[in-house]
Copies of this chain bind each other. A is one copy, B any other.
Amino acid sequence: MGSKITSRKIDYSKWYNEIVVNADLAENSAVRGCMIIKPYGYAIWEKMQAELDKMFKETGHENAYFPLFVPKSLFEAEEKNAEGFAKECAVVTHYRLKNDEDRPGKLKVDPNAKLEEELVVRPTSEAVIWNTYKSWIQSYRDLPILINQWANVVRWEMRTRLFLRTAEFLWQEGHTAHATKVQAIEETKLMNQVYADFVENYMAIPVIQGTKTASERFAGAEETYCIEALMQDGKVLQAGTSHFLGQNFAKAFDVKFATAEGGLEHVWATSWGVSTRLIGALIMTHSDDSGLVLPPNLAPIQVVLVPIYRGEEQQNEIAEVANTMKKALENKQIRVKFDNRDKFKPGFKFNEYEVKGVPLRIAIGPKDLQNGTVEIARRDTMTKTIVNQDKLVDFVLNQLEQMQGDLFQKALDFRETHITEVENFEEFKNIIEGKGGFISAHWDGTEETEEAIKKSTKATIRCIPLKSKTESGKCVFSGKPSNQRVLFAKAY
């Protein structure tokens, strides 16, 4: 704590890592690509989980738990899905260690304990879940199945970054089964909307909803809906996805149901997920060169009280007032910490909570005792206000609400000024290399063009936005006709 954070302008990537580490959110572990989520970072994840879980339940979903391991023969059943994840699979091949005769006291893998069939550590659970749904679904009466799972998954990434891309990450994955295509598509859209609501209202991150092009779809999906968010460096982060899986998994696992009319049909599927990656988006959207900035709705500590005193007597006097304030604030469901540690100076504490992004800091010194005031500093604007103690609770409630709204508005303003409509490829390249952000451009709808643009600029089609008007134009790359703009950007 107390170390200076590298400025965004000097080295954005370094700035990001220093925020993660200095704000005590996470750190790298001894296991390649796997991170340790520290208590303060995990507390943010818990807040996110609690809110999402509530939203899932309100939309009729229940939680369940399926195995960590997927037998290879199940994993490969849906070929596109398997192909999409094959290169990232951690594989369990043995089930026992034994003493290593060559190294007393050490262990080695027991060659006699080789599994008959290898087990894939789940990179996603469609296979193991649809193999289960096969026995759960016989008739239309068994549908829909609306299940969510909170779990860890493993995707063996070669280049990892804390929260953004890790070999193991925490997520939720919804897996639903429906009698009709229409219902499955409705579910896919509904959950994408739930994600958008959550990310905008709780994380204060504005998102653009859209669908993915074929090449960017989830492996095994017919359509992928997504929410895309712009980071401060002009790159875009996919914050959540919701997939319409058609009957692909039902066919791969032979899941059929008797219809009300007496027929027999394959079941329709969706899956949808968000992960600890969202914490990366949270950091990159709001934080500044002084450290993390947290939206009040997700902050584990919303208000910190820091006493300023000389000597034990003064400390005790202030503590009495501070504890009374703490109680009053807690009565309004505000999450408060009173940091009365004697071994650290106020300046040190100020810096700590600044780096940790605590929305409001209340300082109370001897003068405040005399005057019946406190000094309140707001993390995002760094403004300080002297407030009468008897108006504290209302002031705090108001500021927390204000800050939540302001953070969203600031991010929205930034995004709105970073969606650039371009009409030719020169302009496209200039924007991508310079200003960054989203480029709204016409595209001829072919994979070839998409690939060529990616090769030339590293920009990909982030989504075909749901809210966009039909507009005829010419593809920014090929000049061929197009009737809708899509959004390009460099992406995380």
Residues of A within 8 A of B (CB): 29-31, 34-39, 42-43, 45-46, 62-72, 74-76, 79, 82, 86-99, 105-109, 118-121, 128, 131-132, 141, 147, 151-152, 154, 156, 168, 170, 343
Shortest distance in angstroms between A375's beta carbon and chain B's nearest beta carbon?
28
Q: State whether A90 touches B67 (Cβ < 8 A).
A: no
Q: State whether A37 touches B65 (Cβ < 8 A).
A: yes
Q: State whether A86 touches B62 (Cβ < 8 A).
A: no
Q: State whether B67 touches A31 (Cβ < 8 A).
A: yes
> CA–CA, A423 to B278, complex, Å?
64
In the bound complex, residues from chain B placing their C-beta under 8 Å from that of A94 are 90-91, 93
Q: State whether B106 touches A76 (Cβ < 8 A).
A: yes
In the bound complex, residues from chain B placing their C-beta under 8 Å from that of A92 are 90-93, 121
Q: State whether A107 touches B39 (Cβ < 8 A).
A: no
* Interface SS majority for chain A: mixed
Q: State whether A97 touches B93 (Cβ < 8 A).
A: no
Q: State whether A119 touches B70 (Cβ < 8 A).
A: no
Query: Given A89-B95, A97-B72: A31 and B128 within 8 A (CB)?
Result: yes
Q: State whether B67 touches A29 (Cβ < 8 A).
A: yes
In the bound complex, residues from chain B placing their C-beta under 8 Å from that of A132 are 29-30, 36
Shortest distance in angstroms between A333's beta carbon and chain B's nearest beta carbon?
16
> CA–CA, A65 to B27, complex, Å?
11
Picked from B66, B82, B109, the residue with its CB within 8 Å of the CB of A107 is: B82
Q: For residue A35, which residue of chain B has the nearest CB?
A: B67
In the bound complex, residues from chain B placing their C-beta under 8 Å from that of A120 are 97
In the bound complex, residues from chain B placing their C-beta under 8 Å from that of A87 are 96-98
In the bound complex, residues from chain B placing their C-beta under 8 Å from that of A42 are 62-65
8 other A-B residue contacts (CB within 8 Å) besides A43-B62, A86-B107, A89-B97:
A29-B66, A29-B132, A30-B67, A34-B67, A82-B107, A86-B99, A91-B92, A92-B92
Looking at A42, A97, A147, A170, the one whose CB has the most chain B CB atoms below 10 A away is A97
In the bound complex, residues from chain B placing their C-beta under 8 Å from that of A106 are 76
Query: Given A71-B30, A89-B97, A128-B29: A147 and B109 within 8 A (CB)?
Result: no
Picked from B64, B109, B156, the residue with its CB within 8 Å of the CB of A91 is: B109
Shortest distance in angstroms between A43's beta carbon and chain B's nearest beta carbon?
7
> CA–CA, A140 to B75, complex, Å?
49
Picked from B29, B46, B62, B95, the residue with its CB within 8 Å of the CB of A156 is: B95
Q: State whether A107 touches B75 (Cβ < 8 A).
A: yes
Shortest distance in angstroms between A175's beta carbon and chain B's nearest beta carbon?
12
Q: State whether B65 touches A30 (Cβ < 8 A).
A: no
Picked from B38, B62, B69, the residue with its CB within 8 Å of the CB of A39 is: B62
In the bound complex, residues from chain B placing their C-beta under 8 Å from that of A76 are 105-107
Q: State whether A89 touches B96 (Cβ < 8 A).
A: yes
Query: Given A62-B43, A90-B92: A68 and B147 within 8 A (CB)?
Result: no
In the bound complex, residues from chain B placing their C-beta under 8 Å from that of A131 are 30
**Can you report 14 residue pairs joining A to B where beta carbons are below 8 Å apart?**
A31-B67, A31-B128, A34-B68, A42-B63, A75-B97, A76-B105, A76-B106, A87-B96, A88-B95, A91-B97, A93-B94, A96-B156, A109-B118, A141-B343
Shortest distance in angstroms between A414's beta carbon and chain B's nearest beta carbon?
31
> CA–CA, A66 to B41, complex, Å?
12
> CA–CA, A152 to B156, complex, Å?
19
In the bound complex, residues from chain B placing their C-beta under 8 Å from that of A35 are 67
In the bound complex, residues from chain B placing their C-beta under 8 Å from that of A45 are 65
In the bound complex, residues from chain B placing their C-beta under 8 Å from that of A154 are 68
> CA–CA, A34 to B79, complex, Å?
24
Q: State whether A67 touches B97 (Cβ < 8 A).
A: no
